[in-house]
Amino acid sequence: MRTKLLEELKDNYGIVFRNMSLLEEAFTHSSYANEHLNLKLKNNERLEFLGDAVLQFLISRCIFMKYPNLPEGKLSSLRSLIVCEDSLAQFARECHFAQHILLGKGEEISGGRKRPSLLCDLFEAFIGALEQDQGLEQVKKFIDKVMIPKIDSGHFEQEKDFKTALQEKLQKSGDISIKYRLFKEEGSAHDRVFYISVYLNDKKIGEGIGKSKKQAEQRAAKAALFKMKGSVK
């Protein structure tokens, strides 16, 4: 395991792994493990599975306590913004995790080190490894340093659910039909770009582009709202 990663974990977060194989597993992508079968390496997919569940629980508990009057639906939406792919990828970048993950040659060449989905998975895998090595309380301490400050600052409250906003605005006029249609997608399987249009009663009112269909739909809804005389600022 790279010395710089160990130093950064200790200096920035006070983390010293007891079981180094867990940390190595968290930072080993399946593409690297597949290219080095003779080393019999474990990739980070199982730890990613665990880390996802740990994050869901800890963030749920955090916002449940922080927002005592927020209904279940709003809590779910807020949690989704905090633990979504783009958010976790950004946390991974801020922790400098991207430079330490082991990638296969093809994944490296195709820009995997910058891919949000890969970075999101890496962050979740690290959380899983930390939980297995030192328990839930140590994960909470790490999250308190890395994620909670953004929650406390209201960063995620500023995010808008444009699809919901569009639906609420248009439904004031009565019965309407809003549909999102994929009209183009391009790029490799690991770096897909989706193009989506949003229609009101079969009339196109906006278009969006994103790394996922959900992201493209949100951007299409946002574009439609902006067309409606700047109703979203």
Which residues does the annotation mark as catalytic?
A: 52, 124
The CA dihedral of 195, 75, 115, 224, to the nearest 10 degrees, is 20
One-letter amino acid of 126: F
Say if residues 198 and 224 touch (Cβ distance below 8 Å): yes
The separation between the first and the last C-alpha atoms of the chain, rounded to the nearest angstrom, is 46
Biggest alpha carbon distance in the chain? 65
Cα–Cα distance, 11 to 77 (Å, whole number): 34
One-letter amino acid of 143: I
Cα–Cα distance, 150 to 144 (Å, whole number): 10
